[in-house]
Amino acid sequence: MRLSLLLLASILAYGQPPYPAPDPAYVPLARAYELLKDKQYDEAITFFLKGIEAAPSRPAVRKDLAYTYLKIGETEEARDQFAAAMALNPADFHVALEYAFLCHDTRMQAEARRVFDRIRKSGDPESRQTAEQAFQNIDQPLAAGIDRWKKALALAPESFMAHYELAGLAEQRDELELAAQHYRRSWEILGSRKQTLLDLGRVWKALNRAADANAALLAASRGGEPRAREAALELLPQRYPYVNEFTQAIALDPENIELRRDLAFLLMALEKQPEAEREFRAILDKAPEDLLSCAQLGFLYLVRDEKARAMPLLEKVLRGADVALANRVRAALKLPLVDPSPLAEVSGDAKVMAERSLKSGYLRDALQYLQAAHTTNPRDGWVMLQLGWTYNILHADDLAFRWFRLAQSSADPAISAEAGKAYRNLRPTFARFRTTAWMFPFFSTRWHDTFAYAQIKTELRLGKLPFRPYVSLRLLGDARRTTGGLVPLELSENSGVVAVGVASNYWRGMMAWGEAGSAIRYVNSERGARRVTPDYRGGVSFGRGFGHGIGGEEPGWFFETNADAVYVSRYENDLLFYAQTKIGWTPPRAASIETQFFWNNNIIRDAKGLEWANFVESGPGVRFRWAWMPRSLLFTVSAVRGSFSVTQHYREQTFRDLRMGFWYAITR
């Protein structure tokens, strides 16, 4: 009996349902939604990503993350999250529409058209109506464009531009055979443009012509434009190419020296010396001054004891400018090395060679080694981070931005943190919307008054155009308002200026801008000025800094200058000129306080000789901040002595002023 009861109890206990397993994504997602509610979007995104990592199959989370990316202007990231949500739940036509519209906004016309086409045929009635209109808005111009370029080709059949434009429109309309035909003809007409090979490879890949696609992409990834190279490497298989792929690529691009050289080295690694020798000879027939091929072919002859054939090639290397390569030849010939450098030691490890190239300043060489290292191990975070920094130094920030984004996923916390910081620094440059806010309140002993200047501006990035339209609100005011006395003078505008405008990109520290708006006074003027006044402004701005900035790793001298030429309609249609310079010393950090000591030299002039707008001032100053503060927060104290260069009727001709305030700026 006891045994029966025991067995019954065991069966009942075993049959009880287990406690449900805790949701692994609950904690990060709960935190993400809290931060989202508080509009802390960057932090919310971090926790959304952790939640997705814990539970990757939830389309609702990806949709919420996509909308969060849109709030900070990350259109491409939002598009990718909508794509993931759509893949998880194809029946959510609202998500599919969002994805399609973002594809259209990010110049993925073919994908947008494809998704709109699917929705207009299989979606719910409301979605079908929206998708139909969007589809026609894309499809009709594409069809008209294809017809127009076909007519142009009938008149000029050898026009590269006509073939290339026709191919691009055909690709966007999913007429892939037509696109491939005209991309191929474009390449035959202008065989030096690797972007065309990239386009051809992409279309062949979409047509499932894998061998042809790999040949075109492989050729595009060797030599040519850096952007085409990067894009081609993304589309190629994550392995080193095979010999037959190199052969097909060379048949497509026979003048590609780098392609032939890589094939030759691969053949040597496979111990196919005769074939490698043939490739090196083909290279030297086309590029006799290619020293690396000279050296390798000479070494092959030397190994076969054909010294008479080897020495002319090796002597050419010895006379060349590549010291590291020349030292390899000297070592093979048992000659003493000369002018050894970090690059003279040869290693087969691409990462080691990349690091040495970076330390020696050979950035182009470093790129090649880093690309080779990435091909070998696509998950190496260090390689991706260094690719980002190298492209950043070479002013290819769009490529740097991509590599920093990839390096953020590194398993090494230090690499991930450094890449994330660099990515966030570059993100405002590439975001669709960029909002900048700054403020500069200060107290002046000359006027015994507190002044405040501030602006918030949201800019729209339009592809790769060299300018951005924007809307802005500028605030200018003070606490005291007038000087007092028999002839009281207003000390500031006490206005908010609402405006729309356009600003160019920066070029060597210089940019141009122009805007139109209205100045709205927020206090009544003692002179009866109008409450709302039209305000038109525009000008050119220049700013550069040199030396050791505040908070830098090393102390030292610094110099910075800011110069502006500004037209303002409300100042009697006047043109104002400002030049402000600071030269000084940045001492080492003392505890957590960072400081700078400097000398101010400021010059203000105008075109009309107005009393208030022509003076010079000079004097010492100090800037300081605590290390834990935001990097853009700076406290400033300056003592200046100034002199007006135009006779003053209501002011002293000279003045002294002690100014104390702070500057703070933020960009999202």
The tokens describing 18, both together, are: 């287990």
Q: Which amino acid is residue 266, in one-letter code?
A: L
Given this model, what pLDDT does residue 571 score? Answer: 80
Given this model, what pLDDT does residue 528 score? Answer: 56
Paired strand residues for 606? 576
pLDDT at 106 over 60: yes
- Domain closes at, from 427, 445, 470: 427
More confident residue, 250 or 494: 250
Handedness of CA 511, 512, 515, 521 (dihedral sign): positive
Is 465 part of any domain? yes
CA 351 to chain centre: 24
Q: How far apart are CA 557 and CA 567, in angstroms?
A: 34
**H/E element, 364:** helix 363-376
Task: Say whether both 253 and 358 belong to one domain.
Answer: yes
CA distances to 559, 567, 617, 635, 667 from 544, in Å: 8, 22, 20, 20, 19
Task: Say whether both 463 and 522 belong to one domain.
Answer: yes
Q: How far apart are CA 243 and CA 358, in angstroms?
A: 30
More confident residue, 225 or 249: 249
Given this model, what pLDDT does residue 40 score? Answer: 86
Is 562 part of any domain? yes
Given this model, what pLDDT does residue 3 score? Answer: 41
Q: How far apart are CA 139 and CA 494, in angstroms?
A: 52
Phi, psi of 250 (to 5 degrees): -65, -35
Task: Say whether both 262 and 328 belong to one domain.
Answer: yes
Q: What is the pLDDT of residues 586-626, one digit of tens each?
A: 998 887 888 999 999 999 999 888 888 899 999 999 999 88
Task: Say whether both 390 and 314 belong to one domain.
Answer: yes
Q: What is the pLDDT of residues 204-237, one digit of tens each?
A: 999 999 999 999 998 988 877 777 887 888 888 8
Q: What is the pLDDT of residues 540-596, one digit of tens each?
A: 999 888 788 886 667 889 999 999 999 988 888 889 999 999 999 999 888 788 899
Largest interatomic CA distance in the chain: 118
* Helix ranges (DSSP H) in 381-502: 381-393, 397-407, 413-430
The tokens describing 494, both together, are: 């006490």
Confidence of residue 9 (pLDDT cuts 50, 70, 90): very low
Given this model, what pLDDT does residue 563 score? Answer: 92
**H/E element, 496:** strand 495-504
Q: How far apart are CA 608 and CA 576, in angstroms?
A: 9
pLDDT at 521 over 90: no
Task: Say whether both 220 and 235 belong to one domain.
Answer: yes
Task: Say whether both 348 and 473 belong to one domain.
Answer: no
Task: Say whether both 409 and 437 belong to one domain.
Answer: no
Confidence of residue 344 (pLDDT cuts 50, 70, 90): very low
Given this model, what pLDDT does residue 554 score? Answer: 74
Is 617 part of any domain? yes
Domain count, the chain: 2
Given this model, what pLDDT does residue 529 score? Answer: 63
Is 63 part of any domain? no
Q: How many helices (H) and strands (E) are present in the chain, helices listed first?
A: 24, 12
Contacts of 351 (CB under 8 A, 6+ apart): 369, 370, 373, 380, 382, 383
Handedness of CA 156, 158, 161, 166 (dihedral sign): positive
Confidence of residue 296 (pLDDT cuts 50, 70, 90): confident
Q: What is the pLDDT of residues 429-438, one digit of tens each?
A: 777 788 888 8
Highest mean pLDDT among 240-244, 261-265, 338-342, 640-644: 640-644
**CATH classification of the domain holding 490:** 2.40.128
Q: How far apart are CA 103 and CA 113, in angstroms?
A: 9
pLDDT at 379 over 80: no
Q: Count of alpha carbons within 13 Å of 656, Cβ hemisphere only?
A: 2
Per-residue DSSP letter, 612: G
Task: Say whether both 395 and 473 belong to one domain.
Answer: no
Q: What is the mean pLDDT of the chain?
A: 83
Q: How far apart are CA 432 and CA 375, in angstroms?
A: 31
pLDDT at 280 over 70: yes
Is 390 part of any domain? yes
Given this model, what pLDDT does residue 581 score? Answer: 93
**CATH classification of the domain holding 336:** 1.25.40.10
Q: What is the pLDDT of residues 14-30, one digit of tens each?
A: 444 444 556 777 888 88
Is residue 544 within 8 A of residue 561, CB to CB? The reply is yes
Given this model, what pLDDT does residue 525 score? Answer: 59
Is 365 part of any domain? yes
Paired strand residues for 635? 624, 662
> What secondary structure does DSSP assign to 523-573, as a single string?
S--TT---SEEEEEEEEEEEEEEEE--TT-SS-EEEEEEEEEEEEETTTTT
> What secondary structure does DSSP assign to 459-478, as a single string?
EE--TT-SEEEEEEEEEEEE
Per-residue DSSP letter, 613: G
Is residue 617 within 8 A of residue 542, CB to CB? The reply is no
Long-range contacts of 515-523 (CB under 8 A, 24+ apart): 515/470, 515/472, 517/472, 519/493, 519/495, 519/570, 520/495, 520/496, 521/493, 521/494, 521/495, 522/477, 522/494, 522/495, 522/496, 523/477, 523/481, 523/494
Is residue 52 within 8 A of residue 59, CB to CB? The reply is no
Task: Say whether both 396 and 452 belong to one domain.
Answer: no
Is 116 part of any domain? no
Q: What is the pLDDT of residues 439-495, one digit of tens each?
A: 999 999 988 888 889 999 988 888 778 888 999 999 888 877 665 554 455 667 788
Rg (CA), the chain: 33
Q: What is the pLDDT of residues 28-87, one digit of tens each?
A: 888 889 888 888 888 888 888 888 888 888 889 999 999 998 888 788 888 999 999 999
pLDDT at 426 over 60: yes
pLDDT at 336 over 80: no
Is residue 128 within 8 A of residue 100, CB to CB? The reply is no
The tokens describing 202, both together, are: 């992409």
Percentage of the chain exceeding pLDDT 90: 26
* Other beta carbons less than 10 A from residue 511's beta carbon: 16
CA distances to 353, 485, 597, 659 from 443, in Å: 56, 21, 19, 6
Q: Which domain holds residue 609?
A: 433-667
Given this model, what pLDDT does residue 552 score? Answer: 66
Cβ burial of 39 (10 Å; 0-12, 13-18, 19+) is exposed
Q: Count of alpha carbons within 13 Å of 440, Cβ hemisphere only?
A: 8
Confidence of residue 410 (pLDDT cuts 50, 70, 90): confident
CA distances to 2, 4, 17, 48, 148 from 10, in Å: 12, 10, 14, 43, 82
Is residue 383 within 8 A of residue 377, CB to CB? The reply is yes
Q: What is the pLDDT of residues 159-177, one digit of tens each?
A: 999 999 999 999 989 899 9
pLDDT at 363 over 80: no
Given this model, what pLDDT does residue 580 score? Answer: 93
Given this model, what pLDDT does residue 553 score? Answer: 61
Is 62 part of any domain? no
More confident residue, 268 or 603: 603
Q: What is the pLDDT of residues 646-660, one digit of tens each?
A: 887 777 889 999 999
Given this model, what pLDDT does residue 362 score? Answer: 64
Confidence of residue 304 (pLDDT cuts 50, 70, 90): confident
Q: How far apart are CA 144 and CA 114, in angstroms?
A: 18
Task: Say whether both 413 and 471 belong to one domain.
Answer: no
Encode 85-137 in three state secondary structure.
HHHHCCCCHHHHHHHHHHHHHCCCHHHHHHHHHHHHHHCCHHHHHHHHHHHHH
Paired strand residues for 471? 458, 500
- Domain closes at, from 369, 402, 427: 427
Phi, psi of 211 (to 5 degrees): -65, -45
Given this model, what pLDDT does residue 582 score? Answer: 93
Task: Say whether both 453 and 311 belong to one domain.
Answer: no
pLDDT at 178 over 70: yes
**H/E element, 586:** strand 574-586
Per-residue DSSP letter, 485: S
Cβ burial of 410 (10 Å; 0-12, 13-18, 19+) is buried
Task: Say whether both 491 and 539 belong to one domain.
Answer: yes
Is residue 343 within 8 A of residue 363, CB to CB? The reply is no
Q: How far apart are CA 654 and CA 648, in angstroms?
A: 9
- Domain closes at, from 427, 444, 466: 427
